[in-house]
Each structure stands twice: as structure tokens, then as C-alpha cells.
Amino acid sequence: MVDQLPKPDVPRLITVANQKGGVGKTTSSVNLAAGLAVNGAKVLVVDLDPQGNASTALGVAHTSGTISSYELLIGEATAEQAVQQSTAGDSIFCIPATIDLAGAEIELVSLVRREYRLHDALRASGFLDEHGFDYVIIDCPPSLGLLTINAMTAVDEVLIPIQCEYYALEGVGQLLNNISMIRQHLNTNLHISAILLTMFDARTKLSEQVATEVRAHFGDVVLGTMIPRSVKVSEAPGYGQTVLTYEPLSRGAIAYFAAAQEFASRGDYQPVESTGPIGVSPETAKQLESER
């Protein structure tokens, strides 16, 4: 029996984002959701990536024609109609993504409140309050378009997964700039509350060096728990599962469980001496940008 963590006083809404692909963004979204659910939380995952990988890992239907985040964004369905129970746990729910979402960027351009469609569907509609979700995790595509902007205007927190490999900080500077712009013009509450180091390989000096560099740049916003490189983590989505259900005693499952506990225990982390939405100095932001 897992000891349940204290539930947040209000729902925590988090976008998992990184404009560099292959960093464990979707993997972290679904496995953190599973870890939070095991710890007693009620979690909603919103899949905003047309590839639908989060939907696959959570075992929900997402073939073309399924009511999904696409219909939600363009106003053809409500969140109530789109949400599905995940096979990953009794307290995990998912609004899936279908291939139809690939055309949403173009369709959203002409719609009223095009940057706030997801916010209105989840928050303004009262859906979250009615269902008592503790956490909402949004998995978005690795690009800054209207899908990602909708994700960032709907939440307060951003979690950035960074892989412990070459070019780990590639694109992070631009991500900081984009979050700053969204915070300035669209969502003043937006901030980075966590950075998760993924694909850590204790056998290599490179992983240690990258972890040290990321902690030097970002400080305490980086979670202490690191996710190891794991075959089981990679295999699980192929079976329509999170790693916590596929191989719960594997190193990857144990790490994601610990990361979820840490993330929940420390709450919505905001650096005390934050100089912006990230909590790093302008000099650091410029340095990160120069490393792209």
C-alpha cells in the first residue's frame, strides 16, 4: 500500500514542454501522471500532439473519428465528451489526440480566442472543478505553434524534460524566450516549476557533466530525481502501457515514481529570487541561447 501524498489545495495544471524532440517529453508526461495516480491523485492527461503517443501509452482510443482534443479546440465537443478512462489506473483520465489534430493549427487561426481555446474548454467551462482533478498534465508537440500556445495559456506551470546527452541545452534558450513572451502577452501566471533530467547513464562522464551543467544554470528548480536510460521505459508504450504498469520494479518505473513524489511533495515550486518565468538571470538565458 502506497502512502498517499497530500493533495494540492487547487488543481495544478502543468505543460510538459521542450522544443527539442527525443528528450522524453511524452514519456515523462504519462509516467509522471501514473506516478501521481499511484500516490492517490486524480490526474487528467491532455494529449495535444498529433502523433498521439501519450494516448497510446495510456491505453485510450485515438483512431480518426474519436472525439479528441481536436474537436475540443475547434469547439465541436466539450471536455466531458472527449475525456476517457485510462487503462493505466482508475484515477487517470485522458483527452486523446488523433491525426485530425495535425490540421488544427490552420483551423485555429480564424477562430475567436484562438490562443485560449483549451483554457476555455478546461477551466472556464467548470470541467476541472466538477471532476475534482488534482493534476492536469498537457503533452504538446515539440514546436511553438497554436497547439503549444494553447497548452501554455491553459496552465500555470511548465515542466521541462532535458536529456543527459550531447546538445542537451540545444533549443532551451529559445524555449525560455518563448515562455517569457507568452507570460508577457498571454498568461502572466506561467512559470517553470520543474526541470526533469532524463536518459541519465551513470556509467558515462557525459551524463554527470550534463546534469551538473543543468543544475548550475537552473538551480533548485531541477528535480533531484533523475530518470535513467531504460529499455523498459522505451518498451512500455508499445504495449499501450506506462512503465509503472508494464514493469513496476524496473529502474525507470522506480525513478518516475520517485520523481512524481518529489514533484508533488514540494508543490508548485517558484524560485524566491526569480528574475522571470524561469528563475534564471538574463545572462544565463543569453548563454543558453548562444549554445543552440
In sequence order, what DSSP letters do the residues of 172-224 get, joined into one string? Answer: HHHHHHHHHHHHHHT-TT-EEEEEEEEEE-TT-HHHHHHHHHHHHHHGGGEEE
Cell numbers found for residue 180:
517569457
* Least reliable range by pLDDT among 11-15, 101-105, 267-271: 267-271
**Bridge partner residues of 139 (DSSP):** 16, 47
pTM, full prediction: 0.91
**pLDDT on residue 4:** 72
pLDDT, tens digit, 9 for 90 and up, residues 97-149: 999 998 898 999 999 999 999 999 999 999 998 999 999 999 998 888 999 99
Q: How confident is the model at residue 2 (pLDDT cuts 50, 70, 90)?
A: low
- Cα(111)–Cα(246) distance, integer angstroms: 41
C-alpha to C-alpha distances, 56 to 48, 66, 94, 98, 144, nearest whole angstrom: 13, 13, 10, 10, 23
**Average pLDDT across the chain, whole number:** 89
Quick one: which of 35, 48, 29 has its CA closest to 91? 35
CB 146 within 8 A of CB 109: yes
- Per-residue pLDDT tens for 42-58? 999 999 999 999 999 99
pLDDT over 60 (residue 263): yes
Tens digits of residue pLDDT in 213-249:
899 989 999 999 999 998 999 899 888 899 999 999 9
Q: Calculate Rg over the CA atoms of the chain.
A: 18
CATH 3.40.50.300 correct for 12-290: yes
Domain-wise residue ranges, the chain: 12-290
Is residue 284 within 8 Å of 290, Cβ to Cβ? no
Give the closest residue to 44 by CA, choosing from 76, 3, 15: 15
Interaxial angle between packed helices 25-38 and 251-265, expressed in degrees from 0 to 180 and rounded to the nearest 10: 70
Note the pLDDT tens digit of each residue in 177-186.
899 999 999 9
